[in-house]
Amino acid sequence: MENQEGTYTLSYDKLILSPGAKPFVPPTEGLTEAKNVFTLRNVPDVDAITQFIEEKQPKKATVIGAGFIGLEMAENLHTRGLDVTVVEMAPQVLPPFDEEMAAYVTAELKEKGITLYTGVAAEAFEDEGQVIILENGERLESDLTLMSVGVRPESEMAEKAGIETGMRGGILVDEFYETSQPNIYAIGDAIIVKQQLTGEDTMIALASPANRQGRQVADVIAGYDRQNKGSIGTAIVRVFDLVAASTGLNERQLSANHLNYESIHIQSKHHASYYPGAETIVLKLLFNPEDGTIYGAQAVGKEGVDKRIDVIATAIKGHLTVDDLPELELTYAPPFGSAKDPVNMAGYAAMNVIEGLSDIAQWYDLEELQNNGWTLLDVRDEDEIETNGAMPNALNIPLNDLRTRLGELDKEQSYIVSCHSGQRSYIAERMMKQSGLNVKNLDGAFALYSMAKPENIIRIKE
């Protein structure tokens, strides 16, 4: 052991390592000469950034990395009056989220005046960090730069002690948090855990699992029967006026694990719509279409997002399935929720898919389906289309007119039906199927598609 007075030896019966994780700083040309580049791990780092702002009065700030910390810092720097640019190597902000859900956060950032570069990395620094060169050749002026491109386990001491490590240098532990060295345990952001839904090794650098691991390892050492059951990775972030939260697996992870899945999107108010202040939540549920296993969920909105993701995270931990979600009895009064909560509604929508009441198409399927001869039928009212925009190559028959105009539809043709959020298009789908038509319902409908593919929307009113 070492302190300000020197070094000394400390004996132990059981040793717990909790070194945490440190910011990852990729080797970048010119970085060592830069005098305005910071990372963020602890309060002294915050103090250093604050002191720099107060002393140097920077005008332009660049955040490299659009994860949770990067976006929170972008907001805070913007609040301090800086002109903020965010650079993200991935194709989207918040890489743990699926593309269409991250698009809501992108829209919020742009609305608040944040400049975004996605799908491009910072390649070099020049002029002592005052200029950032992107890999596409573009040059950005930056008075202050925050590197926020992820973390790596602080495992050097463990490695020196002969403790086995694994992916990204994470410390390997068993189900009791014991390392490869007897009587030495490890917890927190430095260890490799099991993704509970797949059983795969992963690293989840979140405060909640780390804190719970501390209690669990103490119980283990005290002789209680406790085991590390793994984590599902439940997280949340506020970005200006929008909240984004997720739990479990996203579509990329499900595909990588070759798991059969479906997803549904619902839009619902966070409390009774007639009560003042109701805000929209967009909730995505990922599940197994054969047995209803819940794989994950993502949500965005201004209010009530945390509650819904917490409920679904609890359902995953409790091994509930989608047909249990409509049966959840959640608190209701108009200021707090709806008689049918968004979680209940997500369960209903998923059950409709499993039970064959609805065949869905995703937003990313639409172009291919249309190219293969499917016709897009938009059942919104004409004034909605005029106000919000038209979908590409869409036929319009408002839902209220559909039953009397079913004869206009070709029974030899296949249709994708859409409305604003998906409710009316589900009704239209049922009508059309009962009339012998081949129909898919566009999941999330216009609202989701226009967020994911804004460039494809035909604006009638500017």
What pLDDT was estimated at residue 139? 97
27-47 confidence digits (pLDDT tens): 999 999 999 999 999 999 999
What pLDDT was estimated at residue 6? 87
Q: Is the model's pLDDT at 462 over the cut of 70?
A: no
Distance of CA 457 to the CA centre of its chain: 24
Question: Residue 327: what residue type?
Answer: E
Q: Which two tokens stand for residue 177?
A: 């948090």
Domain boundaries for CATH 3.40.250.10 within the chain: 360-456
Q: Is the model's pLDDT at 244 over the cut of 70?
A: yes
How large a percentage of the chain has pLDDT more than 70?
A: 100
Q: Is the model's pLDDT at 328 over the cut of 80?
A: yes
| Residue 134 Cα distances to 36, 125, 147, angstroms | 17, 9, 14
Q: Which two tokens stand for residue 344?
A: 């209940």
- Least Cα distance to 294 among 271, 270, 316, 317 occurs for 316
Per-residue pLDDT, averaged over 211-218, amounts to 96
Q: Is the model's pLDDT at 54 over the cut of 90?
A: yes
Q: Is the model's pLDDT at 286 over the cut of 70?
A: yes
Class of domain 241-354: alpha beta
Cα–Cα dist 61/77, whole Å: 7
User: Scanning the structure block, which residue is given the tokens 């963020």?
Assistant: 40
What pLDDT was estimated at residue 4? 85
407-437 confidence digits (pLDDT tens): 999 999 999 999 999 999 999 999 999 999 9
Domain boundaries for CATH 3.50.50.60 within the chain: 22-151, 241-354
Cα–Cα dist 413/421, whole Å: 24
Helix (H, G, I), strand (E, B) or coil at 256: helix
Q: Is the model's pLDDT at 109 over the cut of 70?
A: yes
Q: Is the model's pLDDT at 461 over the cut of 80?
A: no
Q: Is the model's pLDDT at 5 over the cut of 90?
A: no
Architecture of the domain delimited by 360-456: 3-Layer(aba) Sandwich (3.40)
At residue 3 the predicted structure's pLDDT band, cuts being 50, 70 and 90, is confident
Per-residue pLDDT, averaged over 221-248, amounts to 96
Structure-model confidence comparison of residues 76 and 10, the more confident one: 76
At residue 295 the predicted structure's pLDDT band, cuts being 50, 70 and 90, is very high
What pLDDT was estimated at residue 1? 79
Mean pLDDT over each residue of the chain, to the nearest integer: 96
Per-residue pLDDT, averaged over 115-119, amounts to 98
Structure-model confidence comparison of residues 10 and 124, the more confident one: 124
185-204 confidence digits (pLDDT tens): 999 999 999 999 999 999 99
| Residue 183 Cα distances to 193, 355, 373, angstroms | 19, 52, 65
Q: Is the model's pLDDT at 167 over the cut of 80?
A: yes
Is residue 418 within 8 A of residue 379, CB to CB? The reply is yes
Beta-strand ranges (E) seen in 50-99 are 60-64, 83-88
Cα–Cα dist 247/287, whole Å: 12
Cα–Cα dist 425/440, whole Å: 9
Class of domain 22-151: alpha beta
Q: Is the model's pLDDT at 348 over the cut of 70?
A: yes
